Each structure stands twice: as C-alpha cells, then as structure tokens.
Amino acid sequence: MAGLATTFGSGAMTNSINEIENAQVMLVIGSNTSEAHPQVARRMFTAMDRGARLIVIDPRRTLLAQRADIHLAIRPGTDIPLLNAMMRIILDENLADDLFIEMRTENFYELRDMLFRLDLEEAARITGVELASIRAAARLYGRAQKAVICYCLGITQHVCGTGNVQSIANLAMMTGNVEKEDTGVDPLRGQNNVQGACDMGALPNVFPSYQQVDIDDFREKFERAWHVSLSPRPGLTLMEMTHGGKNGPLKAMFIMGENPVLSDPVMSRVEETLDNLEFLLVADIFLTETARRAHVVLPAASFAEKTGTFTNSERRVQMVRRVIPPLGQSRTDADIIMDLSARLGYVMDYESPAEIMEEIAMLAPIYGGMHHDRLENSWGLQWPCWDREHGGTPFLHKYYFTRGKGRFVPAAHEPPAELPDDDYPFLLITGRIYHQYHTGTMSRHSVLLSREAGEALLQLHPEDGRRLGVRGGEMVRMRSRRGEVRVKAQLTETVKAGEVYTTFHFSEMPVNLLTVSAKDHFSQCPEYKICAVHLEKV
C-alpha cells in the first residue's frame, strides 16, 4: 500500500468491482484472480465476453493466463524491468497521454530520463520474456480507452514490492488510465476486512483514516477525543513484533484473531519469539497454532454471532449482522476489548457497535458519513464518504488525485533476496488455492472444502518430475536453508521447469519453515513469492 500512497495518495482500489466488466483492456499482474478473488475474475470473464482483451503477467500459467490474449510468463521478481520496458515502448510509440501527464501529475521527467537510459533488449533478457511479446502488451494497454490493472500479493510480497506498485502506478498515469470510470489501478485485498483494518488505524504509524501519529494536529485531535496523551512515535510493524527472537523488543502481546505462527515467514523464528514472551494473550474462535502457545486464550464469537461492518476491496463498508448468539461462553472481540480496558482503568462504554461507528465517523474523515442506519438500508457505502449527505465514492481520483498531483516515482530492478543455485536449484513460490483460505482456521473446519482440497500439493513441472524420478502423488522432501517439509507432488505444466508452487494453508506442511525473512524496506512486506529450495524423492 505504501506504493500507491506515495504516487496517488491513497492505497486502495480506484475502481468498483463492477466497473471491471466495462474495461476494454485488463492487465492482471501478480494475481491468481480466479482462485483468490472469484467475483473479480467473474467480472473479467464478462468483460472478455463483451470483447475486452486480457494481458496476464504471471510466472505460472494460471487459469486466467490460459485464457489471456497475451501471457507474459516472467521470471519471478522481474516485474519492474518488465513494466519499465512497457513504459519505454509506450513513450517511443507516442502512446503516452501528454495532457494528463501535464495537468495531473508531477515528476514525469525523472521517470522519462530513467526510461531513456533503459536498454530494452537487456530488460527483456532479465524478465525471460520475448521483447516482441512485451511490445504487444505495451501497445494493447497503451492504446486502450478504458484499461484496468489488477494486482495482488504477487506484486507486493517481494523485496521490491513498493517499487513494483510504484511502477504499476507510473504505467497507469503515463497513459492517463486513472481518473475515469472503468479505468484504474486495483489492488485486490486478500482478506475480507484488510481494507477496514487499515482504515481503522490497526497500523503502527497511523490513526483511523490514515492520520499519521507523528503529525501534531492529528494526534491532538485524538488526544482531545480520547482524553489521554498519545505517543508521537510510530510503533513496531508485525514482522518486527513476531521476529524479535529471544531478545526481542516485546515482553507481552495481545493477538486478536490472527495466526502468525502459520502465516508469517520463518516459522521457527516466530515460535521462538512467542515462546519467550512473558505474557501472551490470544482471542480466537479455534485453538490455533498461535493460541496453543498463549498464557491466556479467550473464546471469541464468529462473524455470525456479532454485528458490525466489514470494508471490502472496493472500499465498500457493509453490515455484518448477528444471526445467532455467541456460542458457549464465547464473547465478541468488542466485548473482550471493552472489558479488558475497564480492568485497565479506562472505561470504553459503548451500548452497541453503531455507537462505536458514530465515534469513528467523528474522527475518521473518510468514514465521516458512515452511520449504521445508513448502511442498514443500502448495499453499503464506498469511502471516502465525508458526511451524512454524501453518497460514497465508486471510483477515486476524479478531477484530482488524493495527494493533489499524481507523482511519478521511477523504480529500478532489485533482484530477489535468494535465488536458486547449485545447492538449492528450485525456485519456490507460495500462494493460495480456491478451496482453502489463509491458515485454514475457518476453511479447514469445513467438511466439504477439506474434501475438495484436504492436503497441500507441490506443483512441479513434468520435466522436473522425470529428472527427479517423482511421479504425481508421490512424496518429496523439500528443503531450504531454513527448514524442511515433506509434501505430495502434483505434476503440472502450470509451473515452468525449475519453479515449484505450493500453499500455506496446511499446518501439517508448514511451508513458512522454508520461506525467507527478507522484506520490502518501505512496506515491510515479506518476500513470500521467492525462495530457493532443494527437492528429492522420499
């Protein structure tokens, strides 16, 4: 999100999901949309039925890639040279939107100078894609009247994640593909309320509505509202908290509804960190791998047992409604927090979630018009929604960017932290699959989903399978510099020879024992998409 914040001023989908249906060209990069965001993929297929063209940039031949007009199967981690090459071609062939660049953006010359120094042949060589295909993709995208770029964690989970996002933003601004309906840059959010958790300031550097903690005006506003003095120093990020090890910065943690043992990179390091805390409090609906290490575990209510709101990927704030009372003695997380707070000597007294939302609306400008009574009688509202009269915002940056002028931030290629070598000759990519979800806390407790996909599979190219003597369904031992797991092989041409793919949903095959802890310097996003592994038949 840091990438879009620096270029556009706002790190969220610029379009609504339904607008994708009307695009003429769709550029999907680093997103296995049909598995991870089925409803977005559905809009893409509709658009194709209406004549839209699809460009997919992905190292794997995903379902979407198989249906694409152009599939650029790049070497993992080479998105920046590829995007820069596309931009250079757009510039050379006069497909840039000069008026848009002039009126709505700044710092274009820095990007242009960098692009003029770019050697196209060299860039193509780095990415492993034919220059002719890159040229075709650049022309297709550059000529479109309405073009949408969708990206996901395949872009952000790299050491150069922020640079990747900035390059996407550069490409969109250069061709004027931002300010209009059905046209834009759409980061697809992985979890149902990631957008909302960010909006609510569950981040170490900002209060709700992205108001920085180190800016006095913002901090004083919250000090007045909450009647306390607040720290101006940004806090630790998730990776800093969970990877401190034995002598980490933390002595106590409260983890609400997350499972970092399984979801964070270098699992052994997370376990070491949590085991060395003086006090660990976990609230969750199941006894997760993280909860098993806690000193106190609180039973939380599931989404069907509480009222509130979620914010989806297109910034739509919508109601979650209580269907049944909390099971057993479980309580909602809001209840738990209020009770804890009272015992700590600070009374949070809200009669209902609607009352909490009133406070949010007062303090968070982009949620200024979000009131439960308005959300109850509609399909939700898309932020920014400034006040009670405001009808929400289906697409962002109309007339001007959130930050004023869109800023071009040129990025240069940064190689991945760990690439295959003689000892670890395969490149491992991790991701999600259709039938399971994240660490499986919910989806693995569903009988039918687990029947469809009940165990982890390692996608392996048939050529590599032959070389290793591994047939489909046989077990392989997969080892990296950090750990080792055993996993069942699935031979498929979805992956290229030399590259393998698996998921992190299954605790029996904790693939994050293998992943690297390298991360993007700005966003702190770990490089899940690339590490080097060694494979052998068991």
Partner 1 sequence: MHDILTTCVYCGCGCGVYLHEQRGRVVGATPSRNHPVSRNNLCVKGWHLHEFIHHPSRLKEPLMRKNGKLTPVSWDEALSFAAHELGRIAAASNGNAVGLLSSAKCTNEENYLLQKLARAVLHTNNVDHCARL
Residues in region 489-528 near partner 1 by CB under 8 A: 523-526, 528
CB of 140 to partner 1, least distance (A): 26
- Output 105 or 441, the one with its CB closest to partner 1: 441
**What's the DSSP call for residue 337?**
H
Q: Which is nearer to partner 1, 92 or 240 (CB)?
A: 240
Contact flag: residue 215 with partner 1 (CB under 8 A): no
313, 402, 459, 490: which one contacts partner 1 (CB under 8 A)? 313
Residues 97-156 that bind partner 1 (CB under 8 A): 156
> Applying CB under 8 A, which part among 61-69, 123-131, 137-145, 316-324 lies near partner 1?
316-324
Residues 506 and 289: their CA atoms lie apart, in Å, by: 11
The residue among 40 and 487 lying less far from partner 1, judged by its C-beta, is 40
Angle at 240 between CA 520 and CA 439, to 5 degrees: 80
| Total of chain residues touching partner 1, rule CB under 8 A | 137
202 belongs to the binding site for partner 1 (CB under 8 A): yes
DSSP letter, residue 474: -
Residue 341 as a binder of partner 1 (CB under 8 A): the answer is yes
Q: Quick one: which segment of 60-68, 297-305, 414-422, 478-486 binds partner 1 (CB under 8 A)?
A: 297-305
Residue recorded with tokens 């022309």: 139
The Cβ of residue 422 has, within 10 Å, a number of other Cβ atoms equal to 6
Q: Does 234 bind partner 1 (CB under 8 A)?
A: yes
- H helical segments located in 276-382: 333-343, 353-363, 372-376
Strands 279-284 and 252-256: parallel
Which of 380, 410 has the CB closer to partner 1?
Answer: 380
Question: Which CB, 322 or 403, lies closer to partner 1?
Answer: 322
Provide the token pair at 82.
Answer: 């590829």
* Amino acid found at 244: G
- For 526, which DSSP code? B
Mode of pairing for the β-strands spanning 53-57 and 206-207: unpaired
Contact stretch for partner 1 (CB under 8 A) within 63-71, 102-110, 169-177, 444-452: 444-452
Q: Please return the burial class of 38, using the count of CB atoms within 10 Å of its CB with bins 0-12, 13-18 and 19+.
A: exposed
Instruction: Single out the residue of 205, 215, 481, 498 in contact with partner 1 (rule: CB under 8 A).
Output: 205
Q: Which of 48, 165, 169, 338 binds partner 1 (CB under 8 A)?
A: 338
Residue 508 phi, psi (nearest 5) = -70, -25
Q: Which one among 292, 388, 398, 466 touches partner 1, defined by CB under 8 A?
A: 292
Peptide bond into 384 cis (omega under 30): yes
Among 140, 144, 281, 535, binds partner 1 (CB under 8 A): 281
> Where is 289: in which H helix or E strand?
none
- The three-class DSSP label of residue 14 is coil
* Residue 158 lies near partner 1 (rule: CB under 8 A): no
Asked if 320 is part of the footprint of partner 1 (rule: CB under 8 A), the reply reads: yes
Mutual angle of helices 79-92 and 131-143, in 10-degree steps: 60
For residue 36, the surrounding DSSP H or E stretch is helix 33-36
- Nearest approach, Cβ of residue 478 and partner 1 (Å): 21
d(CA 526, CA 239) in angstroms, rounded, equals 8
Say if CB 2 and CB 523 are below 8 A apart. Answer: yes
77 exposure class (CB count in 10 Å sphere: 0-12, 13-18, 19+): buried
Residues 337, 419, 468, 497: which binds partner 1 (CB under 8 A)?
A: 337
Listed ranges 138-146, 232-240, 418-426, 462-470: which one lies at the site for partner 1 (CB under 8 A) = 232-240
Establish if 17 lies at the interface with partner 1 (CB under 8 A): yes
324 binds partner 1 (CB under 8 A): yes
One residue of 79, 179, 258, 289 binding partner 1 per CB under 8 A = 258
- Candidates 162-170, 296-304, 398-406, 415-423: pick the segment binding partner 1 (CB under 8 A): 296-304
Rounded Cα distance between 94 and 213, Å, is: 44
Is residue 157 close enough to count as binding partner 1 by CB under 8 A?
yes
Verify binding: residue 224, partner 1, rule CB under 8 A: no
- What's the closest the beta carbon of residue 434 comes to partner 1, in angstroms? 7
For partner 1, the binding residues in 182-201 under the rule CB under 8 A are 188-201
* Residue 379 contacts partner 1 per CB under 8 A: yes
Q: Of the ranges 52-60, 237-245, 475-483, 490-498, which one interacts with partner 1 (CB under 8 A)?
A: 237-245
Q: What tokens does 514 get? A: 């293998």
Pairing label, strands 316-320, 308-311: antiparallel
Per-residue tokens: 134: 């890159």
Tokens of 123: 């860039």
To the nearest whole angstrom, how small is the minimum distance from the Cβ of residue 256 to partner 1? 5
Cβ at position 360, least distance to partner 1 in Å: 5
Among 75, 112, 331, 496, binds partner 1 (CB under 8 A): 331
List the structure tokens of 179. Answer: 């300010």
